[in-house]
A and B are shown apart, each in its own frame.
Chain A
């Protein structure tokens, strides 16, 4: 009798107090950036991830990889990351994303790119990637005309512009097309200069970046060539050329100005996408997002160095002035 009672009570108690307990999972995220200039995107990403509850060393672990502008290193690192079988891969820049997209094509490892000037290189459309990738576009190609307009506004009398191109770069064709479309509308003549690496650009800067060729320099959204901005800035200044960069970091390194999104903010925006993927959403179900904010950044030091007086109207519109 009493045994039966004990059984009944035990059963009811089990029913009443049963609580599901789940072991906490630690996610492993591998990241790949093409160059130091994209590190802020990763910093912004980590910051937001922590806000979302993914504390490093707790719920999440990061394996950080930086190709330091080396195209070959990018490919190798992409292969290594895939072999490591992480739970998710985070990239920054089209240059870093393309090898990862290729290497992960046969896997189910989700890839979130924090920035890409030309995401249509590896996704089907903005609405849906149709594969294991999703992320945020920097709109760099879209903003080509806008940046060229900026150059024209900064140097109203400018006629010839040295347009740098990297034929081996991931955005080469799109950028070529965009610059060639924008320049005539603004009454500019392009002097197209092809270089295939940062080293080549640095090496040939004295030859290629001269006032003889043009009055301004237009940097492409190319991670390889962007890495050389700091080194070529003195040459540009010497030649009193107005240079428009494709990202804010380059302006800080000596370029005159840019109109681009902030990588740190892009990283934060990308963290939200990663959170969704880790919670089970397929990357193909997450549309490619636009940056929330574009910034007009002007390096006044460079302006001063090249003897350029920034119009008051531009200064009023600037989001950030580097002095």
Chain B
């Protein structure tokens, strides 16, 4: 399924209805509830505030009345006291009785008219005569004496309880004041009054004095602590306006316990106190919170019931729509016979009927559409086939045949012809055709560009359609022969066949009956013509590519051939011949620059020109090629004014018209020219000049190579001769040295032998001086013998006469010999010699004498170049490598880093050796190196000047 009904919309109409309904219902219920909440809260708060105001006023009034009542009690006492003698037991008893009957009073004092205390009784204290004092200066006395009732500010006892002192006059008659009676009133009795005040669910009250000190509260501990509440907002408000009379309206704020409260206060007039009522906001609004819970329940219930109703309603509303949707889906699925059955009698039913009508209409148009689609598919299929043919082949013929065939299949014209432009003839020639009356068309096979309808279409590149030539004035105007009309044809159409750049032909269509092509048909035929154009273009390009390829192939072949030729005698004639063949010229030659001349080096077919063998560089066309360093072409000698007359005459006599000369260059340098001659007049195009230029470059390289080859050949012959002489000389030298060494060694051995015998007193006693002389002779003779042996060894190695005497031996034997040698060298223990030799070594299979000789050479050098210090000889078994490592270290003069590479060369000597201190001929290390090469060994040197050297070499167990 596709389109509208295939997509599942999020939720669908039913869900959207449901959610919309629920959202609106929820919003309505929520708004209603919220409004209710706000209103109720305000009302509840208002009512609570009203109650508080009333209660606070009443309590304040009650407290005022209570204090007044206490004052009256004291006035009653004063009345009783007045009738008795001041200071009498009766007066004391009366005072005690007040204390007993009203526990709020804890102390009573009676003062006479002078202010002297006459009687003093107390609930807790004991007063004796000495405790009575003069009170005339006290406020309580003089205020009461003047007839005013006195109430002191609140003060605290030693047990922290709040007290006030009340004083009233003792009158005898209405005007005569004979004394004063005062009482200390413990305000603790107010605690129960205040503490018992409870209103609403958690309301309470407390009493503060004019400083904000707590006088009474349900929690007596706070009172006993003398808590000052002036920081509580409500108390602050009271203290700011202590003289105001009306109770303060209830307000929210922090209460005595620190929690938010709804509170008010009322002043206790005449005392300067305030009753403060508080009710925790939470408690005050408890009913409100209950209301919230109920309201939320109602909200949830309402939502639930509303939701159910909305579900039912949405189902009711959407069922026909869903039926409509199902029907539409069935119709959309292709069942155009389906009809939607909705009988709601409203707009949905109308919509269903509309759907049904639409389905009927769709079914009707579907048949027509199918036919059209079939026709269109056929046309596209045809076009596809043609396009496929075009893509499949690069040949033109199959394409035009396919086009003709397909057009005939579709349109059934009486004639379909394809004319293509022949560039050489500049006329349109029929390439292919289908015709019902071949005899009529046999004569009409080509048109000039612009001739007739075919020529006009090709010339203008625009299609021409004649629905009926008989009535179309254009046909009358444009057609010269009126052949179609005369043959009884009515329909005629020409479509241009175009390549990317130009019009290359005309597709001509003819019918006997008048015909009006539809837009699609015109488009299809235009496309067919375009495909023919593409095929023409492909075919042309293909031909060009094939041609070019063949040319390149030939050129490559020629270049390959001449590049392989190194013999100038063969190469030079071949170049002329190949150049001539390349452009199919009649004659060719080439000249090479020698000094200031161009020398004829080869020619082919141009012999009849009798060319001069040498030309100056500034004459003739060849000279021009050299001087301008480019190809020079002459179309016709006879007409070219730049050609000198003599030259022109020569050419004329030889029958040549055209000339092409190209330079021979190697690495940008001109070495000569190739000259080509044609008896036929020719215009040389770039595509002809390029191959010959390329050929000339290759030919120049080949000539250069041939020249070099000839030179090398000559040099080789010369070197071979020289080499033979050198080898001979070397051999003679070696033989001489070998013979001379041998000859020198024989007498020297005799000298040594006899000297030794003399030294050992074989020939009789010798004096001490003679002994010393003999030892010197012996020592230097041995040095000389060593030198001769070294020379002989080196000579034998070089003469490759050195042979190895390979045997299996124990390395310990070699070490023992070397130790003896070392002892001889170290006479007088001049140096310290260290031996670091492992205990066991495998048997070696190599030349033991040479190993020994190598070690002796290295150790001898060490002794020679170490004036003082030590020499260390180390021998280790490199088991893994199956080699033995020998090393000789010394603390001698060392070797410069730059010298290290040279020390193994023949006759190398240290600089110091020339001074005589370290004399020698410089063959020791050379022989070591050469021996090691023979024994498959290797050697390394580490050395630092003035610090010493280490020579290490390794040898395989076996060679």
Contact = CB atoms under 8 A, between A and B. Distances in A.
14 contacts: A13-B300, A16-B296, A16-B300, A139-B124, A143-B124, A182-B126, A186-B126, A287-B221, A289-B220, A290-B159, A294-B123, A294-B124, A316-B93, A317-B96
Contacts of A59: none
B309 to A, nearest CB: 13
B704 to A, nearest CB: 94
B303 interface: yes
A17 B128 contact: no
B89 A16 contact: no
Given A16-B297, A296-B100, A286 B221 contact: yes
B293 interface: yes
A283 to B, nearest CB: 10
Contact of B293 (A17, A182, A281, A290): A17
A319 B100 contact: yes
Contacts of B304: 5, 9
Contacts of A126: 159-160, 224
Contact of A293 (B103, B159, B219): B103
B188 interface: yes
A276 interface: yes
B837 to A, nearest CB: 87
A273 B96 CA distance: 31
B128 A186 contact: yes
A313 B89 contact: yes
Contacts of A313: 89, 92-93, 96
Interface in A6-21: 8-9, 12-13, 15-17
Interface of A: 1-2, 5, 8-9, 12-13, 15-17, 126-128, 139, 142-143, 145-146, 148-149, 182, 185-186, 276, 281, 285-287, 289-290, 292-294, 296, 313, 316-317, 319
Nearest to B189: A292
Contact of A12 (B128, B299, B311): B299
Given A16-B300, A127-B225, 20 more contacts: A2-B311, A12-B299, A12-B303, A13-B300, A17-B293, A126-B160, A127-B160, A143-B124, A182-B126, A185-B126, A186-B126, A186-B128, A286-B221, A287-B160, A287-B221, A289-B224, A290-B188, A293-B103, A316-B97, A317-B93
A285 B100 contact: no
A153 to B, nearest CB: 10
B18 interface: yes
A12 B298 CA distance: 10
Given A126-B159, A289-B224, A317-B96, A9 B303 contact: yes
Contact of A290 (B161, B221, B225): B161
Given A289-B220, A296-B100, A313-B93, A146 B160 contact: no
A48 to B, nearest CB: 14
A95 B340 CA distance: 103
A52 to B, nearest CB: 13
A1 B160 CA distance: 71
Contacts of B297: 13, 16-17
B185 to A, nearest CB: 15
Contacts of B220: 287, 289
B159 A12 contact: no
A13 to B, nearest CB: 5
B29 to A, nearest CB: 11
Interface string B95-109: 011001001000000
Looking at B89, B161, B300, the one whose CB has the most chain A CB atoms below 10 A away is B300
Interface string B301-325: 0011001000100000000000000
Nearest to B18: A1
A280 to B, nearest CB: 12
A128 B222 CA distance: 11
B290 to A, nearest CB: 11
Given A17-B293, A287-B225, A142 B303 contact: no
A149 B221 contact: no
B125 interface: yes
B15 interface: yes
Nearest to B157: A290
Interface of B: 15, 18, 89, 92-93, 96-97, 100, 103, 122-126, 128, 159-161, 188, 219-221, 224-225, 293, 296-297, 299-300, 303-304, 307, 311
A285 B220 CA distance: 11
Given A146-B125, A149-B126, A276-B219, A12 B224 contact: no
Contacts of A149: 126
B130 to A, nearest CB: 8
Contact of A146 (B100, B124, B161): B124
B660 to A, nearest CB: 94
B124 A1 contact: no
B219 A16 contact: no
Contacts of A285: 221
Contacts of B96: 313, 316-317
Contacts of A290: 159, 161, 188
Given A9-B304, A12-B300, A296-B100, A287 B224 contact: yes
Nearest to B122: A146
A182 to B, nearest CB: 7
Contacts of B159: 126, 290
A317 B122 CA distance: 12
A127 B97 contact: no
B296 A292 contact: no
B132 to A, nearest CB: 13
Nearest to A272: B220
A160 B128 CA distance: 19
A317 B18 contact: no
A185 B123 contact: no
Contacts of B89: 313
A9 B302 CA distance: 10
Contacts of A319: 100
Contacts of B124: 139, 142-143, 146, 294
A15 to B, nearest CB: 6
A146 B103 CA distance: 16
Which of B89, B124, B297 gathers the greatest number of chain A CB atoms within 10 Å? B124
Nearest to A1: B15
Given A9-B303, A13-B297, A126-B160, A317 B97 contact: yes
A309 to B, nearest CB: 16
Nearest to A5: B307
Contact of A145 (B125, B161, B299): B125
A9 B123 contact: no
Contacts of B296: 12, 15-16
Nearest to A19: B293
Select the residue from A15, A186, A293 with max chain B CB neighbours within 10 A: A15
A1 B296 CA distance: 22
Nearest to B158: A126
A5 B224 CA distance: 60
Nearest to B127: A149
A142 to B, nearest CB: 6
Nearest to A144: B126
Contacts of A294: 123-124
A12 B304 CA distance: 10
A186 B130 CA distance: 11
Contact of B126 (A5, A13, A15, A146): A146
B287 to A, nearest CB: 16
Contacts of B221: 276, 281, 285-287
Contacts of A276: 219, 221
Nearest to B297: A16
A12 B89 CA distance: 80
A241 B299 CA distance: 84
Contacts of A316: 93, 96-97
A111 to B, nearest CB: 16
Nearest to A15: B296
B324 to A, nearest CB: 21
A16 B293 contact: yes
A294 B304 CA distance: 68
A12 B159 CA distance: 57
A186 B303 CA distance: 87
